[in-house]
A and B are shown apart, each in its own frame.
Chain A
Amino acid sequence: MLLCNKIDEHKRKIYKVNTINLIYDLFNHMCWADALMWESVLKTPSAIQDRTIFEQLHHIHLCQHAWLLIWQEKAVDPNAGTDFDLLALKQWGETYHKDVMKYLASVQEADLERLTNVPTVDEILHLPSLRETFIQITTHSTYHRGQLIKYLRSIGGVPSQTDFIKWVFLGKPMSIWFSS
């Protein structure tokens, strides 16, 4: 199923040299890379029942959902998704990417420097801008994807390469979410 790269081309052309292009690239790449990561997991029999794999995937998608809720000023459930099985977790991750693309389509360049209030975070800390929270969640996913891939290899998996530059060289393809 194709989900990502829904940011319309018209908007891309309007914003040639600006930050929103960076944000679109980061999220579209994240969707593509998450889909490849899931494909690698589901093609590795030893990963299907592995608790570490589940916990790492859950952490990635829990944080993705949490930030989307924060941007929409909705309550965050820190335990969301803990009772899912692996396929339900995959569906949750896939749905996130559809939802976040819809949200991003509503964001304008002028919104990016708006400060974002993060519930439960110590008030003495500096507030991030919306732009910085976008960078946070996409780099957070990259960081934990690296850890998951390392672990997957250790249990016999043969993960796909998910480098940003590979996605660029391939022409920034849409994501294909693997169905087992």
Chain B
Amino acid sequence: MDIKSLKELYKHMEWADAKVWTAVMASEDGKIDSKLKDYFYHLHMVEFAFLRLWESEARENPYPTFEDRKELMLWGHSYYKKIFEYFETLSDEKIVEPIIVPWSEMIEKRIGRAPQTTTISETMLQVTLHSTYHRGQINSRLREIGGEPPLVDYIAWVWLDRPSADWPFIISK
């Protein structure tokens, strides 16, 4: 695995996260839907959880909680500054190094055996795929409640020449 491909996946992830947030915030029902809020919170919490792992930050520190959707969105947005700073510390050699996952006991219970060794790059790929999976569910829920889900395919981002993320309520620098 190479760092260039991973970084592109994260740039797409930010673009796609911003697109779905824009669509949800443009929907009167979407803005107040509790299921959408739960999906977003889970998506962003997992993004932050793995960043903590890579940066060896204490796992026990509580995550913030949000009543306000805009605050939740801003939390999600704040992740990207941190993750792209983290990318600056990585190299192709570094990302294939093994990483110890501190919640391996929980994993062992779930999969019924001790987990195999994983690498930084595999955990980084997990985050983008996890967000893609739940973004699909967010768009599906948005359609159920009458909203208009955006096209967030990786190929659409490529066809559009890999645009920067355009977050609602945030003026790009």
Point out residues on A near B: beta carbons under 8 Å.
16-19, 21-22, 25-26, 29, 121, 125-126, 128, 131-133, 135-136, 139-140, 142-147, 149-151, 163-166, 168-172
Question: Are A165 and B154 in contact, with the CB atoms below 8 A?
Answer: no
List residues of chain A with CB within 8 A of the CB of B116: 168-172
A29 to B130, CA, bound (A): 13
Return the 7 tightest CB-CB contacts between A and B, nearest first.
A169-B115, A146-B136, A146-B133, A125-B159, A143-B136, A165-B126, A136-B155
With A16-B96, A25-B122, A163-B130 as known contacts, state yes or no: A144 contacts B2, CB within 8 Å. Answer: no
With A22-B1, A164-B125, A164-B126 as known contacts, state yes or no: A144 contacts B155, CB within 8 Å. Answer: no
Question: Are B111 and A166 in contact, with the CB atoms below 8 A?
Answer: yes
Which listed residue, B1, B115, B159, touches A128 by the CB 8 Å rule? B159
Q: Confirm or deny: B118 has a beta carbon within 8 angstroms of a beta carbon on chain A.
A: yes
Q: Confirm or deny: B26 has a beta carbon within 8 angstroms of a beta carbon on chain A.
A: no
Question: Are B159 and A142 in contact, with the CB atoms below 8 A?
Answer: no
How close is A94's CB to chain B, nearest CB, in angstroms? 21
Question: Are B118 and A165 in contact, with the CB atoms below 8 A?
Answer: yes
With A22-B125, A121-B159 as known contacts, state yes or no: A151 contacts B140, CB within 8 Å. Answer: yes
List residues of chain B with CB within 8 A of the CB of A163: 126, 129-130, 133
User: 12 interchain pairs (CB within 8 A)?
Assistant: A18-B2, A25-B122, A29-B129, A133-B155, A142-B132, A145-B133, A146-B136, A147-B140, A149-B137, A163-B126, A163-B129, A171-B116
Counting residue pairs across A and B whose Cβ atoms lie within 8 Å, the total is 116
List residues of chain A with CB within 8 A of the CB of B121: 22
Question: Are A22 and B134 in contact, with the CB atoms below 8 A?
Answer: no
Question: Would you list which residues of chain B between 114 and 144 have a CB under 8 Å from chain A?
Answer: 115-116, 118, 121-123, 125-126, 128-130, 132-137, 139-141
How close is B8's CB to chain A, nearest CB, in angstroms? 8
How close is A6's CB to chain B, nearest CB, in angstroms? 19
Looking across the interface, which residue of chain B has its beta carbon closest to that of A67? B155
Question: Are A25 and B125 in contact, with the CB atoms below 8 A?
Answer: yes
A165 to B134, CA, bound (A): 15
List residues of chain B with CB within 8 A of the CB of A166: 110-111
Point out residues on B near A: beta carbons under 8 Å.
1-2, 4-6, 9, 92-93, 96, 107, 110-111, 113, 115-116, 118, 121-123, 125-126, 128-130, 132-137, 139-141, 152-155, 158-162
List residues of chain A with CB within 8 A of the CB of B161: 126
List residues of chain B with CB within 8 A of the CB of A171: 116
A172 to B111, CA, bound (A): 13
A25 to B118, CA, bound (A): 13
Question: Are B125 and A139 in contact, with the CB atoms below 8 A?
Answer: no
A144 to B154, CA, bound (A): 13
How close is B17's CB to chain A, nearest CB, in angstroms? 13
Question: Are B135 and A135 in contact, with the CB atoms below 8 A?
Answer: no
Which listed residue, B96, B110, B111, B134, touches A17 by the CB 8 Å rule? B96
Question: Are B134 and A146 in contact, with the CB atoms below 8 A?
Answer: yes
